[in-house]
Amino acid sequence: MTIVLAAVLTWGLATRNLILAIPLDLLIWAAWLYVNPYTSCRACKGTGKHKFRTKKTFGNCWNPRCQRGTVQRLGSKTVHRAVRSLVAYRKNRKD
């Protein structure tokens, strides 16, 4: 009986921590996207050139999202658009 009670109390603490941790993680992720909207391209590893199996480079990167060896992170446009609209709303708000 004591083990069952301990398990139920532990599960309650874990659930409460998960409920608090998920929105906090989303907030940290959105802040990270706002500060660092670009990352290095996985295809060319940030060089902007497509590589053969040898060390020779050949032409531009084949990834269509690659711009100078960087790609925009998923969701960064949405975060920047939301911040821009919030700033515009606060600026045009009439008190």
Q: In this predicted structure, what is the pLDDT of residue 46? A: 77
**Cβ-based neighbours of 46, under 8 Å, separated by 6 or more:** 40, 69, 70
Q: In this predicted structure, what is the pLDDT of residue 9? A: 58
pTM of the model: 0.64
If pLDDT is split at 50, 70 and 90, which confidence band does 87 have? very high
Total domains in the fold of the chain: 1
**Is pLDDT at 5 greater than 60 in this prediction?**
no
**How far apart, in whole angstroms, are the C-alpha atoms of residue 11 and residue 44?**
45
Determine which helix (DSSP H) or strand (DSSP E) holds 66, and give its type and residue range.
none
Range of the structural domain that residue 20 is part of = 2-92
**How far apart, in whole angstroms, are the C-alpha atoms of residue 63 and residue 46?**
11
What pLDDT, in 10s, does the model give residues 12-65? 666 776 677 778 888 888 999 999 888 888 888 778 777 666 666 667 777 788
**How far apart, in whole angstroms, are the C-alpha atoms of residue 64 and residue 33?**
21
